[in-house]
Structure 1
Amino acid sequence: MKKTLQLLLILSSFTISMQGQSWWSSKMIQGNGNLTTTNRTVKKFDNLSVGGSMNVNLIDGKEGYIRIEAEENIMPYIETIVEGRNLKIRFKKNISIRTNKKIEVNVAIEDISSMALDGSGNINVLKTLKEEELSVSISGSGNINASINVGTVKSAIGGSGNINLKGKAKSFDAAIAGSGNVSAYKLKAHNVKARIAGSGDIKVTVSDKIKATVVGSGNIYYKGHPDKIDTTSLGSGDIEDRN
């Protein structure tokens, strides 16, 4: 547990540092307000990484198709590249973007193993994901919203982001370092492991077993009637039955 939370804290601090350095060294591009749309194709991928302030919508469809709506003078600076099996959607390096209109990116997927969001954007999953294992993570202040039906799902937040999950899972592992929130009352899980280092909140529904740990002022709230309950709170945070 300590290693996981330490990693999240390091990730959060590193992101803040890099964002600051990037701001000082970047070329500034101000959106001109004129929206345009472009279609792109990429190789197949298993993992998604999103960086920057944009809405990325995962839709059901043939994998490799991407549709982007953005201001015309910003479009050339949006990268959609696949490295290995990882699709990366981000702005080009050393470019600071200021938009007047929101960037919308629709990505067709058949299945996916992991989603990672860095920054203040959003990932919205517009289909139910059916996977054996799924990993969801945020570094920054963005949001991930997903409907899932999985064996195991792991979520991690480093910063003030929010992860909202609904559906079903056999096992759910949720970790927060910072002030982010995991809202998963609508995710029915058999087994839950929840950990917080900071002031964030985790909300879960569990049927069989929950292991919950809070270090700091964060809170873990659970619904359901698990047979096994293991809780540890170090600080002012609470672990509460919310039935």
Structure 2
Amino acid sequence: MKTTTILSLLLLAILPFSCIYGDGWSQGITGNGNVKEEIRNVSGFTGVHISSGIDVYLTQDENFAVRVVADENLMDVIETRVKGRMLEIGTDHYGIRRARSKEVYVSLPELTELWISSAGDCTGETPFSCDDLKLGISSAGDLTLEVEADRIDLEVSSSGDAKLSGKARSLHASLSSAGDLHAFDLVAGKVDVNVSSAGDARVHATEEISMHVSSAGNIYYMGDARVIRSSSSSAGDIIKKD
């Protein structure tokens, strides 16, 4: 049920950008190579959604800040808008084919959710301290993040890739359709991980772990956690690592 809810939220979040992005990709804009910076006056968000191949760099800071570094003719194409508590970063009607730079730097005090889709990339430039954190990555999106959290809920699909480090009391992860999770460096007390359709998960648990894998998926796990459940089918493998 939680996995379904996360996926539904991700699909709803990406719909506005995915529609315009798909329609305009065949007429995508090429950057002119003249890189400029622009400060965007947005604040009041606790979540970030990234799409349309934009490269985003996140910093946890007491003040909000959004800075776009991009080819000059792309400034009007790259959108940064707040809906509710979500900062949406994507493109205008036309997608971006090539650019010297298409980067957005975001600072915020609190991060509660992060969604990445349509080849968006996100890198945490500082460690993040969170209570509960929801992460959704799909359609070749990439995430690299160091975090200390009570609970992390993660969904990775469609060649998405997540690299997590830090600490968490609990990690709940679902991977499918060649989604990958690299989290040996995220030390979690309790881990619940489900992998299918050629996804790969690497996790580290210290207290207890529950694992299910199917359809050529793989789970590699570290730590001395008690195994609550371990099941595999359809060429799926579960492997203990030292």
Global fold match (TM > 0.5) = yes
Structure 1 partner of 2:35: 35
CA distance in 2: counterparts of 1:6 and 1:110, whole angstroms: 23
Q: Is the 8 A contact 1:216 1:235 kept in 2?
A: yes
CA distance in 2: counterparts of 1:101 and 1:204, whole angstroms: 36
CA distance in 2: counterparts of 1:241 and 1:19, whole angstroms: 42
Report 1:183-202 matches (<5 A).
183-202=182-201
Report 1:199-238 matches (<5 A).
199-238=198-237
Residues 120-154 of structure 1: CA distance to partner in whole angstroms, max 9, x if unpaired? 12111112211110011111112111111110001
Helix, strand or coil for the counterpart of 1:140?
Answer: coil
CA distance in 1: counterparts of 2:21 and 2:77, whole angstroms: 19
Helix, strand or coil for the counterpart of 2:116?
Answer: strand
Q: Is the 8 A contact 1:188 1:207 kept in 2?
A: yes
Structure 1 partner of 2:166: 167
Structure 2 partner of 1:150: 149
Shift of the 19–221 alpha-carbon distance from structure 1 to 2, 3 Å rule, reads: farther
Q: Is the 8 A contact 1:117 1:137 kept in 2?
A: yes
Structure 2 partner of 1:112: 111
Shift of the 193–57 alpha-carbon distance from structure 1 to 2, 3 Å rule, reads: same
Deviation at 1:161, TM superposition (A): 1.3
Residues 178-218 of structure 1: CA distance to partner in whole angstroms, max 9, x if unpaired? 10210000011111000112101000111111111112101
Structure 2 partner of 1:141: 140
**Percent of matched pairs sharing the same residue:** 29
The structure in which a higher percent of residues are strand is 1
Q: Is the 8 A contact 2:46 2:108 kept in 1?
A: no
Deviation at 1:25, TM superposition (A): 7.4
CA distance in 1: counterparts of 2:115 and 2:96, whole angstroms: 20
CA distance in 1: counterparts of 2:6 and 2:91, whole angstroms: 28
Root-mean-square deviation (CA, aligned residues, Å) is 2.5
Helix, strand or coil for the counterpart of 2:76?
Answer: helix
Amino acid corresponding to residue 141 of structure 2 in structure 1: G
Gaps spanning 5+ residues in structure 2: where? none
CA distance in 2: counterparts of 1:41 and 1:5, whole angstroms: 31
Shift of the 3–81 alpha-carbon distance from structure 1 to 2, 3 Å rule, reads: closer
Q: Is the 8 A contact 1:144 1:162 kept in 2?
A: yes
Deviation at 1:100, TM superposition (A): 2.7
CA distance in 1: counterparts of 2:151 and 2:88, whole angstroms: 24
Deviation at 1:228, TM superposition (A): 3.1
Shift of the 177–46 alpha-carbon distance from structure 1 to 2, 3 Å rule, reads: same
How many pairs are equivalent? Answer: 237
Shift of the 20–67 alpha-carbon distance from structure 1 to 2, 3 Å rule, reads: closer
**Is 1:130–2:124 an aligned residue pair?**
no
Deviation at 1:98, TM superposition (A): 1.3
Residues 110-129 of structure 1: CA distance to partner in whole angstroms, max 9, x if unpaired? 11101000111211111221
Deviation at 1:227, TM superposition (A): 2.1
TM-score, normalisation: structure 1: 0.89
Deviation at 1:23, TM superposition (A): 4.3
TM-score, normalisation: structure 2: 0.90
Q: Is the 8 A contact 2:21 2:95 kept in 1?
A: no
CA distance in 2: counterparts of 1:3 and 1:170, whole angstroms: 19
Deviation at 1:27, TM superposition (A): 4.2
Amino acid corresponding to residue 203 of structure 1 in structure 2: R
Structure 2 partner of 1:49: 49
Residues 26-57 of structure 1: CA distance to partner in whole angstroms, max 9, x if unpaired? 64322111111111120211111011112111
Deviation at 1:6, TM superposition (A): 11
Structure 1 partner of 2:75: 75
CA distance in 2: counterparts of 1:21 and 1:76, whole angstroms: 14
Amino acid corresponding to residue 228 of structure 1 in structure 2: V
**Is 1:87–2:115 an aligned residue pair?**
no
Shift of the 2–166 alpha-carbon distance from structure 1 to 2, 3 Å rule, reads: closer
Gaps spanning 5+ residues in structure 1: where? none
